């Protein structure tokens, strides 16, 4: 069941069909989660309850929306127009949850131009793969269509690798993202690293949906699970965010111009992490401003690398690091705006 009479999310059903199953996860605190990960427990089976967004997060969201919102709308326009022009019968399949607001904005963009662009969202979990049952339902709903998988940004390219490894034969791993600093997406609006406004928040900008997880039913072939962060309903800005992107739409369909594709930028980040922070495990190095932000929201950061101490897109990371007593290193040659280091004592999260 992908939808109920009482929706378990706050997305407009016209914007997305949600292929997730409301479920009760194993809830743990951050410290307990890290200990369990060190013991080999799968990251995809654990969930940390979300708290009300901090003042730093909300300030980062509003500042990014004001500063980068028009640019994000342009990226959505160019990416969507390119797919409509060059992909036969495209169907958007966003990867919950960072991809879901992007897919919703893209389908709204198409609808304003009186073009139908179906949008579904489903779960993909690093180390476990894509939700096969959800994918089957999407394929059944759109026989003969070309599925385009949508995410917000890339870090080191793990999601692209998970798509390649877990998609069934006959389904191409076509990945479309707004920001692709890793240089791995099939379709990228830009290869630059920038703070997408929704990277600053979690459930409160993605329909009140938690990170997706696996439980016994999912492991048995059912849909991946999700928890509704109902206690955060008063803080939900999902509709506000999409409405703001609608307003920023100028009505012009700009050509796709992502710039030069980076070549293995993560190698340079690993070298810097080893030399500056003593971190050698690639699972503990999270490059890109979006991924670095996620580390500070859900993991135990050990260090922060920045390309530019004064860049507005990383101001919130500086504040979060300072508040947590995390060392910050500036390196002008960093191929990303930021990279976060996770404590070597933490568990693996590919």
Its domain, for residue 151, covers: 17-248
Given a cut of 60, whether residue 349 has pLDDT beyond it is no
Average pLDDT, integer, range 288-312? 93
pLDDT value of position 348: 43
Closest by CA to 151, choosing from 195, 110, 121, is 121
How many domains does the chain contain in total?
2
Top pLDDT among 121 and 27 is at: 121
Weakest-pLDDT range from 9-18, 58-67, 140-149, 218-227: 218-227
- CB-CB contact of 103 with 231 (8 Å): no
Sheet holding 301-306, edge to edge: 285-287, 338-342, 301-306, 328-330
Residue 43's pLDDT is what? 67
Closest among 344, 336, 297 to 316, alpha carbons compared: 297
Q: Is residue 309 very low, low, confident or very high in pLDDT (cuts 50, 70, 90)? A: very high
Domain limit, last residue, from 217, 248, 279: 248
Domain presence at residue 10: no
Residue % of the chain over a pLDDT of 70: 92
Domain boundary among 248, 281, 315: 248
Residue 311, pLDDT > 50, answer: yes
Is 257 within the bounds of a domain?
Answer: no
Q: Are residues 238 and 285 in the same domain?
A: no
**What is the crossing angle of helices 238-248 and 100-112, to 10°?**
40
Higher pLDDT, residue 41 or 244: 244
Q: Are residues 158 and 103 in the same domain?
A: yes
Distance CA 287, CA 275 (A): 15
Half-sphere exposure of 13 (CA within 13 A, CB side): 7
Q: What is the pLDDT of residue 35?
A: 73
Where is average pLDDT lowest: 147-156, 210-219, 237-246, 308-317? 210-219
pLDDT top residue among 136 and 39 = 136
Cα(288)–Cα(157) distance, rounded to whole angstroms? 11
Same domain, 164 and 99: yes
Provide the mean pLDDT of the chain.
Answer: 92
Decide which of 254 and 306 is more confident: 306
Cα 278 from Cα 252, distance rounded (Å): 48
Tell me the backbone φ, ψ of residue 12, rounded to 5 degrees: -70, 125
Whether residues 46 and 87 share a domain: the answer is yes
- 192 and 287 both lie in a single domain: no
Q: What is the 3-state secondary structure (H, E, C) of the chain?
A: CCCCCCCCCCCCCCCCEECCEECCCEECCHHHHHHHHHCCCCHHHEECCCCCCCHHHHHHHHHHHHHHHHHHHHHHHHHHHHHHHHCCCEEEEEEECCCHHHHHHHHHHHHHCCCCCCEEEEEEECCCEECHHHHHHHHHHCCCCEEEEEEEECCCCHHHHHHHHHCCCCCCCCEEEEECCCCCCCEEEECCCCCCHHHHCCHHHCCCECCCECCHHHHCCCCCEECECHHHHHHCCHHHHHHHHHHHCCCCCCCCCCCCCCCCHHHHHHHHHHHHHCCCCHHHEEECHHHHHHHHHHCCEEEEEECCCCCHHHHHHHHHHHHHCCCEEECCCCCCCEEEEECCCCCCCC
Q: Does residue 255 sit within a domain?
A: no
HSE (side-chain half, CA atoms, 13 Å) at 325: 0
Percent of the chain residues past pLDDT 90, beyond the cut: 79
Q: Domain check: are 21 and 149 in the same one?
A: yes
At residue 39 the predicted structure's pLDDT band, cuts being 50, 70 and 90, is: low
Q: How far is CA 274 from the centre of its chain?
A: 26
Looking at residues 168-184, what average pLDDT do you find? 97
pLDDT of 30: 73
CATH number of domain containing 305: 3.30.1330.30
- 94 and 222 share a domain? yes
pTM for the model: 0.93
Residues 113 and 214 in one domain: yes
Q: For CA atoms 117, 118, 121, 122, give the dihedral sign.
A: negative
User: Is the domain of 167 the same as that of 310?
Assistant: no
Mean pLDDT, residues 113-138: 96
Q: For residue range 68-108, what is the model confidence (pLDDT) as tens digits?
A: 999 999 999 999 999 999 999 999 999 999 999 999 999 99
Please say if the pLDDT value at position 123 is more than 90.
yes
Same domain, 270 and 241: no
The pLDDT of 154-172, averaged and rounded, is 95
Tokens representing 237 are 């800005």
**pLDDT exceeds cutoff 60 at 218:** yes
The arithmetic mean of pLDDT across residues 122-138, rounded, is: 95
Cα 139 to Cα 142: distance, rounded to the nearest angstrom: 5
Residue 275 lies in a domain: yes
Q: pLDDT tens-digit profile of 248-290?
A: 999 888 899 999 999 999 999 999 888 876 788 888 899 999 9
The Cα 304–Cα 6 span in angstroms is 42
Please answer whether residues 103 and 136 qualify as being in contact, where contact means their C-beta atoms are separated by less than 8 angstroms. no
pLDDT value, residue 170: 92
Per the CB < 8 A criterion, the answer to whether 196 and 181 are in contact is no
Residue among 179, 194, 201, 197 at smallest CA distance from 313: 194
Residue that is last in its domain, among 197, 217, 248: 248
């Amino acid at each position: 069941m992908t939808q109920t009479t009482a929706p378990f999310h706050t997305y407009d059903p016209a914007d997305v069909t949600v292929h997730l199953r409301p479920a009760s996860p194993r809830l743990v605190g951050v410290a307990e989660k890290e200990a369990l990960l060190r013991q080999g427990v799968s990251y995809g089976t654990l969930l940390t309850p979300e708290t009300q967004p901090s003042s730093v997060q909300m300030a980062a969201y509003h500042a990014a929306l004001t500063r980068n919102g028009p640019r994000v709308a342009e990226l959505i326009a160019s990416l969507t127009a390119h797919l409509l022009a060059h992909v036969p019968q495209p169907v958007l399949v966003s990867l919950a949850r960072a991809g879901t607001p992007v897919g919703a904005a893209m389908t709204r963009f198409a609808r304003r131009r009186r073009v139908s662009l179906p949008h579904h969202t489903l779960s993909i979990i690093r180390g476990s793969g894509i939700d096969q049952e959800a994918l089957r339902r999407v394929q059944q709903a759109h026989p003969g269509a070309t599925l385009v998988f949508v995410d917000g940004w890339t870090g080191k390219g793990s999601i692209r690798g998970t798509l390649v490894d877990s998609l069934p034969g006959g389904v191409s791993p076509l990945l479309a993202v707004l920001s692709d600093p890793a240089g791995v997406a099939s379709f990228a609006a830009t290869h630059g690293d920038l703070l997408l406004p929704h990277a600053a928040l979690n459930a409160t900008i993605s329909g009140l949906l938690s990170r997706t997880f696996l439980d016994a039913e999912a492991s048995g072939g059912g849909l991946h699970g999700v928890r509704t962060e109902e206690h955060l309903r008063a803080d939900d800005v999902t509709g506000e965010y999409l409405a703001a992107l609608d307003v920023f739409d100028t009505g012009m369909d700009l050509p796709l111009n992502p710039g030069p594709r980076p070549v293995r930028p993560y190698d340079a980040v690993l070298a810097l992490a080893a030399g500056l922070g003593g971190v050698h495990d690639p699972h503990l190095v999270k490059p890109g401003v979006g991924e670095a932000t996620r580390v500070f929201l859900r993991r135990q950061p050990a260090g922060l690398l920045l390309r530019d101490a004064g860049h507005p897109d990383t101001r919130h990371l500086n504040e979060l690091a300072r508040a947590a007593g995390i060392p910050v290193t500036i390196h002008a040659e960093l191929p990303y705006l930021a990279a976060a280091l996770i404590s070597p004592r933490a568990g693996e999260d590919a």
